[in-house]
Amino acid sequence: MKKIGLLLACLALCLPVLAKKKPPRRPHILGIAGVTILVSDVTEARKFYLKLIDPDHSCDYCQAAPPPYLFLPSGQRITFEKVPVPAPANLLAQVSFLTEDLEAFKRYFDFNKVDFNEVRKKHSKEIIRLELTDPEGHRVSITDSYHLANAEDVNAGLPPSNPSNPVRIIHAGFVVKNRESVNRLFVNEFGFRPYWHGGMTEERDDWVAMQVPEGTDWVEYMLNISPTADKHTLGVMNHISLGVPDIHAIADQIAKAGIKVSEQPKIGRDGKWQLNIYDADQTRIEFMEFTPVQRPCCSDFTGPHPGPKQ
């Protein structure tokens, strides 16, 4: 009887532990799947960005009704939406990240009690992405390669603009007021890791690059921005970056495509060649070479550099 009592006591202690659900592994985040940019004229914005992505493209309207998005040769997607009234301060409306298992990410969010919305295909139960916001209101989403190419508003047969052109989105930047607050999503839940940090001077960080855990793309925290910053400044800060192998070659191609280049290529504080272009709504498109040509200021890189096929 004594042994039976000990066994029952052991079971009483062990069963709750055995019954406890094992935490699901966070699915991989492979890189940036795409971005959504708010614009005043969707049709004109699409034409402008097409010239940036594929300067040799000779047909603006090869489709009867051009869709409000573009695919890059990388498979990434830039979507254009009409600016609402009143216009928000941040015209970079959403950054989407790529995973290999969307359903597993849903289970991961559910287990960790992360608030998110399921976006489904029209008249279907099929989930195409999971949308959520960080503590400062930046909209992000998670999708996979299948649903990125086969969402309800996408013609699955639409080819990338030019497979021979290696341009791809390597990062997206947005104004951050409190770095620790935003890290609660990007670090604690998503597992982002430091890539580089620096500033206009050595004394403080103005930019913090946080890299996806299983890839080379990153988000850039734009720090120390005045709460009364004007539209131009906010357009500079809330931006996307397109990686290219040769900044001078892309500058020449863009100029030949008829786009006015108001700035010249320069080496940034991170040691990489870059060139800034602005759309009609003053959102900055930063072209950046994939790898640095000199040692960066302020800190060393702590993660792998992107490349044209990553």
How confident is the model over 90-148, as pLDDT tens digits? 999 999 999 999 999 999 999 999 999 999 988 788 999 999 999 999 999 999 988 88
Name the phi and psi angles at 38, rounded to 5.
-85, 135
Edge-to-edge order in the sheet of strand 77-82:
69-71, 77-82, 29-39, 92-99, 139-144, 127-133, 117-120
29-149: what fold? 2,3-Dihydroxybiphenyl 1,2-Dioxygenase; domain 1 (3.10.180)
For range 258-266, the mean pLDDT: 91
Identify the residue whose tokens are 């272009």: 277
pLDDT at residue 156 is higher than 50: no
The model's pTM is 0.89
Ramachandran area for residue 258 (φ above 0: left; ψ -120 to 50: alpha; else beta): left
- What does the chain come to in residues? 310
CB of 45 within 8 A of CB of 39? yes
Grade residue 247 by pLDDT with cuts at 50, 70 and 90. very high
CA distances from 287 to 127, 136, 273 (A): 33, 27, 8
Task: Classify domain 168-289 by CATH number.
Answer: 3.10.180.10
**pLDDT for 309:** 74
CB of 70 within 8 A of CB of 50? yes
pLDDT at residue 150 is higher than 80: no
For range 149-170, the mean pLDDT: 64
Q: Which positions ≥6 away from 216 have C-beta within 8 Å?
A: 31, 170, 303, 304, 305, 306, 307, 310
Give the residue extent of every domain in the chain: 29-149, 168-289
Query: Which residue type sits at 166?
Result: P
**pLDDT for 15:** 47
CA distances from 116 to 37, 126, 139, 159, 185 (A): 21, 16, 10, 31, 12
CB of 214 within 8 A of CB of 29? yes
Q: What percent of the chain has pLDDT over 90?
A: 75
User: At 169, which helix (H) or strand (E)?
Assistant: strand 168-175
Cα gap 177→189, rounded to integer Å = 19
196-241 pLDDT, tens digit each: 999 999 989 999 999 999 999 999 999 999 999 999 999 999 999 9
Report the chain's mean pLDDT, rounded to a whole number.
Answer: 89
**pLDDT for 159:** 46
| Higher local confidence (pLDDT), 254 or 123 | 254
**pLDDT for 18:** 44
Q: Which positions ≥6 away from 75 have C-beta within 8 Å?
A: 145, 148, 149, 160
Cα gap 50→123, rounded to integer Å = 31
Identify the residue whose tokens are 């079971």: 11
**pLDDT for 105:** 97
Q: In 3D, which of 34, 75, 76, 29 has the Cα closest to residue 212?
A: 29
Q: Strands 239-244 and 284-289: what pairing?
A: parallel
54-67 pLDDT, tens digit each: 877 655 555 567 88
Q: Do domains 29-149 and 168-289 have the same CATH topology?
A: yes
